[in-house]
Structure 1
Amino acid sequence: MTRKIRRVGVIGAGVMGAAIAAHLANVGMSVVLLDIVPGELTEDEAKQGLTLASKAVRNRIVNRGLQAALRAKPASFYTEEDAGRIETGNLEDDLDRLAACDWVIEAIVENLEAKKALFAKLENVVREDAVVSSNTSGISIAAMAEGRGESFRRRFLGTHFFNPPRYMKLLEIIPGPQTDPELVSFMRRFGERVLGKGVVLAKDTPNFIANRIGTYGLMVTLDAMRRFGLGVDEVDALTGPVMGRPKSATFRTLDLVGLDTFVHVANNVRASVADPAEKDAFTIPPYLERMVANGWLGEKTGQGFFKRVKGADGRREILALDLETFEYRPRRRVQSPALEAAKNQPTAALRLKTLVSGQDPASQFVWDVLKRVLLYTAERQGEIADDIVSVDNAMKWGFNWELGPYETWDAIGLQESVARMRAEGERIPAFVEELLASGRTSFYERQPGEVPKFYVGAGKYRTVEEPAEVISLARLKEQGRLVRGNRSASLVDLGDGVLCLEFHSPKQALGPDVVQMIHAAADEVSANWEALVIGNQAPNFCVGANLMLMLMEAQDENWDEINLAVQQLQQALMRIKYLDKPVVAAPFGYALGGGAEVCFPADRIQASGETYMGLVEVGVGLIPGGGGNKEMLIRAIEGAEGAADTRLDNFVRRAFENIALAKVSTSARDAQRLGYLRKTDGITVGGDYLLHDAKQVALGLARAGYTPPTPRPIPVIGEDGAAALKIGVYGMKKAGYISDHDEKIAHHLIRVLTGGSVRRGTLVSESYLLDLEREAFLSLIGEPKTQQRMQHMLQTGKPLRN
């Protein structure tokens, strides 16, 4: 049987259930979202004359859950339109609607008996081939399936999403004792390819993998903080990026998760484990119980371990909770030579090794926490997962660690760290002792150009399983498939005649080296290759031009150099546009300013679902200079040609608003709505497969008999259309929404988008518009107020309104 999932039922419209439903809708699923019927009327409902039989009342809880998902920040939906794929109902009137679902997910309260009662009802409703799963964060899968028939148990499993489901990569799949192995394989593939998740298979043990280790790590951090006499702010300074952990570190993470949620998870482990020492490790400290009792639950209640307040100068500041006095105080800096030395290291592995090798109290604190987490992980390895890769991936994808526990152990030196642990009287888990006794010295073995191998026990290693569609640029370069490169960009052979242009400058910013490599890519592909993909595997695709370099040139009044640099970028992107071989751009994360401009000339864009694209130059007092205005105008013309309202002015106005307001898409689908992506462009939900999909699109174009585009004259709305746009800008200026300098920037942008001093309907060339664009860019970068904005952005990361 070929299994397909197109329609999904989600039961429970709380924070997790509604957000899971939202992500399913994002990826094209039709969703039925159900929740319980309220037991009484609200005051407002009573005033409206509604009764408990009214549909609006009976669906109140589920509809409120959906509305909360629509209001959520960060957004649960790619676009508001995606919410249209969700139908709502209640568990009394609409349970039979689940009979049409291919997959039903339970996301109700974390109570075993409530879940068992629900599954007893579902067994009589869902189809015989429907998948049924629980989003539980830690309740036994086997226990939930007790009393159900064999058919149900074979199609029942745990599917634990992490919050927020749209953004968190980890999906833990937990088979029950009778779950069909073929179903597990199917759901794993579905989770990876359709939902865009990183899937790990976990064993049916308390809190599974990530929450088990992550919660333990948080608990031992709380204990070490007490023993070392540190404050919550000091602990966060030591347990964040310097350790390869998120900026939210420990206590900011707890505030974001919610202290009540954390306490529930910790108590669940404590109640479920038998080892007295482990039970003790998960005991909630009195101050945490007091905070929960006070309602100081973190972000959702406005205060937790941290609290935002307005200072005497009117600026907002963050205060830290003093756990001795239970009052909030200004945050303190950590004084630690080891910390400062670690910050200067280039990689997470070196930062961590430097930090734990120090002699000061901060270093000793980090070592104490890390040591206990590593030992606990190895001790529980066989209980929670079948292999160490699953554990490492769970922590990287579920808690955003840069290195998993076993990768961390290799980074700090397995032999050296174990010797130190032994000297401190620690008992080393048998799994680790066995590895060292076999003469091996690391959990992973890595050879250049090969997929890593991992330790499986008995002195043996196995190659990490990796889907064939996952492309690693780093590994390809290790295999000798680097065609050409400089310090900022490389050309890499993706195979099958496709070349990849990879940016690896700081933040993938555009500079002379990148522009040079764009020209080199055009030469190479035209002469020797079938197609070109523009993509990389950094945290973001491209944040735009090198702002520092441009500012320095402007301050030195090197106008000829700036003009040449902008002109060379324009020419490079025009070469991409009219190359005689197909070009596919593969943006993800931030594709801002020049990053968007690099994508626009491509024949197709294959974007990650999480692509935040926009022309944001106005934020630093400029307008796009690499052809972004021209390309947005061409997209406006295309929109006008295909619209019922064919007046071009309306479409140019939308392009003007996108650029003038520096609108950034909240997703790839939102980028289509804004016009940055065309409807013909593709979307890959998960980033792991993005380069593969872009390559396939490029090959498809090449094999279909690719014909490069032909330059076309561009109709502009001229001075007549410009006058209407200027009226709108004048109104905003008079109302106090924009400054004099904002108005000046807007007038330059209007001149470019309307074609300058010409009549409506005049046909102009792309090179003409590029000249206008470059002239406007040069004029604005010479303005003192623009240079102030650029300086402020570089110093603070925030725009300046002057």
Structure 2
Amino acid sequence: MNKTIRKAAVIGSGIMGSGIAAHLANVGISCILLDVVPKNLTDEETQKGYSLEHPAVRNRLATGAIAKLRKSTPSSLYDDTFAERITAGNLEDHLSHISEVDWVIEVVVENLQVKKDLLNKVERYWKPGTIVSSNTSGISIQEMVADCSEPFQASFLGTHFFNPPRYMKLLEIIPGTKTDPGIVQQMKVFCQNVLGKGVVLAKDTPNFIANRIGTYGLLITLQEMLKNGFTIEEVDAVTGPALGRPKSATFRTLDMVGLDTFVHVADNVYANITDETEKAAFAAPDALTSMVARGWFGEKSGQGFYLKKKGTNGSEIWSLDLVSMEYYPQKKVTSGSLEAAKLAKGARGKTKALIAAGDRYSEFAWNILKQVLIYSAEKVGEIANSIHEIDEAMKWGFNWELGPFETWDAMGLVRSVERMEREGLSVPSWVKEWIAAGNQSFYQKEKGTLYYVSEQSLKLVEQPPEIITLSSLKEQNKIVKGNDGASLIDLGDGVACLEFHSPNNAIGADILMMIQQSLVEVRNNFEGMIIANQGRNFCVGANIMLLLMEAQDDEWDEIDSIIRMFQNTMYKVKRFEKPVVAAPHRMTLGGGVEACMPADQVIAGAETYYGLVEVGVGLIPGGGGCKELALRISQHVGHSDVDLQPYINHIFETVGMAKVSTSGHDAKKLGYLRSTDRIIANQDHLIYEAKQAVLRMSKAGYEPIPEEKIRVAGSEGKAVLQLGAIGMRESGYISDHDLLIAKKLAHVLAGGDLQSGTLVSEQYMLDLEREAFLSLCGELKTQQRMQHMLTKGKALRN
């Protein structure tokens, strides 16, 4: 079974169904979105004279869902035009169209009988070879198709997307007892490579992996809280970043999920397991059921564990007292254990520090963790085949930094098991046998290769070739050279990777120096180089703290030297005689964009938020960003009589408003990425794809890019840009300082005061950039903006 999936049908146009359809559209798969036929007309349809038989009425639910996709925030679509890849329909008129698709996804209400009835109808039009799946959060896959034919069952499986489908990495694939193993493998590869998902294979048990462990953990947390008298905010302080979990922690997470939804998920486990002890753990506490009965579902109803109120100083967040069921102003939580966790580095260090601190919050964290860890160990073999799948599911599905077994290792496996047994807990026998065999942890590393316990033996973690992990390569002593800001790593096959690893990957002199040294090394010993890293974000820009300090000390020669070094380094990358590919991901701002622009090709993750944002700190791009954009416009129009002005206007607005792309595709629309640059869905594959691009260019006989002249808009174009900025100032949209920055930006992008159409060198444009950048550094209001960004983390409009 190796059928290519080019077209899909999604049945059910609710939040999940439309979100799945949107993500399929994101990766280029056309979709039919189907829902039931409405039984009543809306007032608007009545006014238009429609009947219930009108196509617009019959397709209303799907059509409305597609319209909402274009307006959703955050957007479900990489680009709102991708909604055109989704066709609206209904189950009565268009179900037969599933015979034309490669994949049918059922996303209707979480009710076994409803799903069974629908799948029986789907089989009537099903064509052998078409994959059919259910997006269910916990209903039995095999029971859904128990009445269907064996060939249909062989093509059926569960595909549990997490919400929102575009942004959540986890996808659980759940085979039925009769699912063709070839289809399971094909879907795993497809969902990883094309949809960009982190896939785990789950067993057909209630709530599968992530929701089974996650729901248990949330309920245990709630029970421990009620038993020991902790407040809402105390629990969230302990169960958030202090434990390597998201800031939403426990109760903000529940408010976002919806308490009614959470209770439904918990009830599904409760109803489908027989062990009485386990049942008791999944019984929703009275406080939770009371909130649901009152309609306090969380964010979607306006209140849940938290309530936003208007106060004298704006909006205030109030917390719920679960005893009195009344809200009170939120209180700040501090303690020695929380401070110790805050100061510790990484999720492992934070968890260890929190548990070891010994105060009441430390004890609370331990009481939660010990139960979750034991429960996870009990479920190995029942819900998943390995600890690794459980860990990955929790990291990808609940955004934990460490999975349960990684957490156990961080706390100290042997020591924590001894403590559990002292406290009367029953630790699964396989865990004790593993320790008795002389093992100190579940995971072990040897020469960069990761092993984990599986059926009481060590098993190699099989990383697909598309996943290259820089940390593993460094453990294998593959660092060619490095300093505090960056390292050059040997990826094998003649390709090196320049990795940023300064704080926030901000570009300073150390990174620039390493880029230059890397070019020498690659020239002598490699086929080419990629610029990539696996930090949380690719690069948040240049080191503005250094710039601010130099400006406050009037060290203008030093600032000039820094900017020249940045410009010269990027120029060397652009003219380098071997291929260079940049692979940015997530936040790629300011200098991070300028570090990518000289590359022969950019291969960006779909979730890349890309922008030249220097105006936010009172500056303009100074590392070649303005020059590169002007050059691209000149290349696009050629040395002809085509008017440059519309193109210059576009980039002036983009840079002047510090626009940041909402996706890699949006970065192309904004003009930051070229048509030859690529977008891939799976961020884990970026380094592999960039490496392959370097090898392709090298094999094809790479020739460095020759310098060419830039045709500029000149004084006339500059005047048009500045006139627009003046109009915005007179209308009150921008401040006087914004206008000053805009005038400087216009001067640079237009090529100064030359005649329109004049051809200039790249160095000429770089000089304009540097001069404007330096002059703005000397402005007090720019320095205030830089200071505000450093201290507050957001832009100041002064």
TM-score (norm 1): 0.98
- The residue number in structure 1 matching 2:455 is 457
Amino acid at match of 2:649: R
- The residue number in structure 1 matching 2:75 is 75
In the alignment, the residues of structure 2 paired with residue 271 and residue 344 of structure 1 have an alpha-carbon distance, to the nearest angstrom, of: 43
Matches for 1:245-324 after TM superposition, within 5 Å: 245-313=245-313, 315-324=314-323
Query: Would you say 1:586 and 2:583 are equivalent positions?
Result: yes
Q: 1:399-443 deviations in whole A, cap 9, x for unaligned? A: 111111111111101111111111111111122122123222211
Q: 1:641: Cα distance to partner?
A: 4.4
In the alignment, the residues of structure 1 paired with residue 567 and residue 67 of structure 2 have an alpha-carbon distance, to the nearest angstrom, of: 45
Q: Secondary structure at the match of 1:722?
A: helix
Query: Would you say 1:755 and 2:761 are equivalent positions?
Result: no
Q: 1:477: Cα distance to partner?
A: 1.6
- The residue number in structure 2 matching 1:151 is 151
In the alignment, the residues of structure 2 paired with residue 127 and residue 221 of structure 1 have an alpha-carbon distance, to the nearest angstrom, of: 47
- The residue number in structure 2 matching 1:407 is 406
Q: 1:309: Cα distance to partner?
A: 2.9
- The residue number in structure 2 matching 1:180 is 180
Moved more, 201-210 or 265-274: 265-274
Query: Would you say 1:648 and 2:644 are equivalent positions?
Result: yes
Query: Would you say 1:773 and 2:769 are equivalent positions?
Result: yes
Query: Would you say 1:135 and 2:131 are equivalent positions?
Result: no
- The residue number in structure 2 matching 1:420 is 419
Q: 1:273: Cα distance to partner?
A: 1.1
Query: Would you say 1:522 and 2:519 are equivalent positions?
Result: yes
Amino acid at match of 1:454: Y
- The residue number in structure 2 matching 1:720 is 716
Task: Indicate conservation of the 8 Å contact 1:18/1:33, yes or no.
Answer: yes
In the alignment, the residues of structure 2 paired with residue 361 and residue 70 of structure 1 have an alpha-carbon distance, to the nearest angstrom, of: 48
Could you tell me which of 478, 482, 505 is aligned with 1:481? 478
Amino acid at match of 2:454: V
Q: 1:516-559 deviations in whole A, cap 9, x for unaligned? A: 01111221122222111000111111100012111111111111
Amino acid at match of 2:207: N
In the alignment, the residues of structure 1 paired with residue 623 and residue 307 of structure 2 have an alpha-carbon distance, to the nearest angstrom, of: 43
Q: Secondary structure at the match of 1:607?
A: strand
Q: Secondary structure at the match of 2:438?
A: coil
In the alignment, the residues of structure 2 paired with residue 508 and residue 439 of structure 1 have an alpha-carbon distance, to the nearest angstrom, of: 40
Moved more, 321-330 or 493-502: 321-330
In the alignment, the residues of structure 1 paired with residue 639 and residue 664 of structure 2 have an alpha-carbon distance, to the nearest angstrom, of: 21
Q: 1:476: Cα distance to partner?
A: 1.2
Amino acid at match of 1:230: F
Q: 1:485-520 deviations in whole A, cap 9, x for unaligned? A: 001100011111111110000111000100001111
Amino acid at match of 1:756: G
Matches for 1:628-667 after TM superposition, within 5 Å: 628-641=625-638, 646-667=642-663
- The residue number in structure 2 matching 1:618 is 615
Amino acid at match of 2:92: E
Moved more, 629-638 or 659-668: 629-638
Unaligned runs of 5+ in 1: none
In the alignment, the residues of structure 2 paired with residue 295 and residue 662 of structure 1 have an alpha-carbon distance, to the nearest angstrom, of: 42
Matches for 1:373-772 after TM superposition, within 5 Å: 373-449=372-448, 451-458=449-456, 460-641=457-638, 646-772=642-768
Q: Secondary structure at the match of 2:701?
A: coil
- The residue number in structure 1 matching 2:61 is 61
Q: Secondary structure at the match of 1:321?
A: strand
Q: Secondary structure at the match of 1:16?
A: helix
In the alignment, the residues of structure 2 paired with residue 67 and residue 305 of structure 1 have an alpha-carbon distance, to the nearest angstrom, of: 32
- The residue number in structure 1 matching 2:18 is 18
- The residue number in structure 2 matching 1:208 is 208
In the alignment, the residues of structure 2 paired with residue 648 and residue 317 of structure 1 have an alpha-carbon distance, to the nearest angstrom, of: 50
Amino acid at match of 1:413: G
Moved more, 529-538 or 323-332: 323-332
Q: 1:157-214 deviations in whole A, cap 9, x for unaligned? A: 0000011111111110000000011111111000111110110000000000000000
Q: 1:291: Cα distance to partner?
A: 2.2
TM-score (norm 2): 0.98
Amino acid at match of 1:406: F
Q: 1:97: Cα distance to partner?
A: 1.1
Amino acid at match of 1:656: F
Task: Indicate conservation of the 8 Å contact 2:2/2:186, yes or no.
Answer: no
In the alignment, the residues of structure 1 paired with residue 390 and residue 405 of structure 2 have an alpha-carbon distance, to the nearest angstrom, of: 8
Q: 1:149: Cα distance to partner?
A: 0.4
Task: Indicate conservation of the 8 Å contact 1:435/1:457, yes or no.
Answer: no
Query: Would you say 1:355 and 2:357 are equivalent positions?
Result: no
Aligned residues: 798
Unaligned runs of 5+ in 2: none
Q: 1:471: Cα distance to partner?
A: 0.7
Q: Secondary structure at the match of 2:572?
A: helix
Task: Indicate conservation of the 8 Å contact 2:639/2:711, yes or no.
Answer: no
Q: 1:637: Cα distance to partner?
A: 2.5
Q: 1:330: Cα distance to partner?
A: 2.1
Q: 1:642: Cα distance to partner?
A: 11
In the alignment, the residues of structure 2 paired with residue 105 and residue 160 of structure 1 have an alpha-carbon distance, to the nearest angstrom, of: 10
Alpha carbon RMSD of aligned pairs, Å? 1.3
In the alignment, the residues of structure 2 paired with residue 229 and residue 772 of structure 1 have an alpha-carbon distance, to the nearest angstrom, of: 64
In the alignment, the residues of structure 2 paired with residue 258 and residue 74 of structure 1 have an alpha-carbon distance, to the nearest angstrom, of: 18
In the alignment, the residues of structure 2 paired with residue 564 and residue 126 of structure 1 have an alpha-carbon distance, to the nearest angstrom, of: 68
Query: Would you say 1:193 and 2:189 are equivalent positions?
Result: no
Task: Indicate conservation of the 8 Å contact 1:640/1:651, yes or no.
Answer: no
Q: 1:367-407 deviations in whole A, cap 9, x for unaligned? A: 00011100111112121011111001000111111111111
Q: 1:595-637 deviations in whole A, cap 9, x for unaligned? A: 0000111010011111110000111111111010111112222
Q: Secondary structure at the match of 1:384?
A: coil
Task: Indicate conservation of the 8 Å contact 2:69/2:83, yes or no.
Answer: no
In the alignment, the residues of structure 2 paired with residue 512 and residue 318 of structure 1 have an alpha-carbon distance, to the nearest angstrom, of: 43
Query: Would you say 1:118 and 2:114 are equivalent positions?
Result: no
Q: 1:661: Cα distance to partner?
A: 0.5
Task: Indicate conservation of the 8 Å contact 1:15/1:69, yes or no.
Answer: no
Task: Indicate conservation of the 8 Å contact 2:210/2:394, yes or no.
Answer: yes
Task: Indicate conservation of the 8 Å contact 1:16/1:165, yes or no.
Answer: yes
In the alignment, the residues of structure 2 paired with residue 97 and residue 741 of structure 1 have an alpha-carbon distance, to the nearest angstrom, of: 59
Q: 1:651-707 deviations in whole A, cap 9, x for unaligned? A: 011010110000101111111111111111111210111100001111111111111
Q: 1:72: Cα distance to partner?
A: 1.9
Q: 1:124: Cα distance to partner?
A: 1.2
Amino acid at match of 1:17: G
Amino acid at match of 1:778: L
In the alignment, the residues of structure 2 paired with residue 162 and residue 556 of structure 1 have an alpha-carbon distance, to the nearest angstrom, of: 51
- The residue number in structure 2 matching 1:795 is 791
Amino acid at match of 1:386: N
Q: 1:290: Cα distance to partner?
A: 2.5
In the alignment, the residues of structure 1 paired with residue 619 and residue 784 of structure 2 have an alpha-carbon distance, to the nearest angstrom, of: 12
Q: 1:286: Cα distance to partner?
A: 2.2
In the alignment, the residues of structure 2 paired with residue 70 and residue 261 of structure 1 have an alpha-carbon distance, to the nearest angstrom, of: 25
Task: Indicate conservation of the 8 Å contact 1:102/1:131, yes or no.
Answer: yes
Q: 1:83: Cα distance to partner?
A: 0.9
Task: Indicate conservation of the 8 Å contact 1:639/1:651, yes or no.
Answer: no
Q: 1:727: Cα distance to partner?
A: 1.3
In the alignment, the residues of structure 2 paired with residue 759 and residue 303 of structure 1 have an alpha-carbon distance, to the nearest angstrom, of: 62
Task: Indicate conservation of the 8 Å contact 2:22/2:83, yes or no.
Answer: yes
In the alignment, the residues of structure 2 paired with residue 761 and residue 696 of structure 1 have an alpha-carbon distance, to the nearest angstrom, of: 39
Q: 1:469: Cα distance to partner?
A: 2.0
Task: Indicate conservation of the 8 Å contact 1:8/1:31, yes or no.
Answer: yes
The structure-2 alpha-carbon separation of the partners of 1:6 and 1:607, relative to structure 1 and needing over 3 Å to count, comes to same
The structure-2 alpha-carbon separation of the partners of 1:793 and 1:240, relative to structure 1 and needing over 3 Å to count, comes to same
Amino acid at match of 2:298: G
In the alignment, the residues of structure 1 paired with residue 430 and residue 280 of structure 2 have an alpha-carbon distance, to the nearest angstrom, of: 23
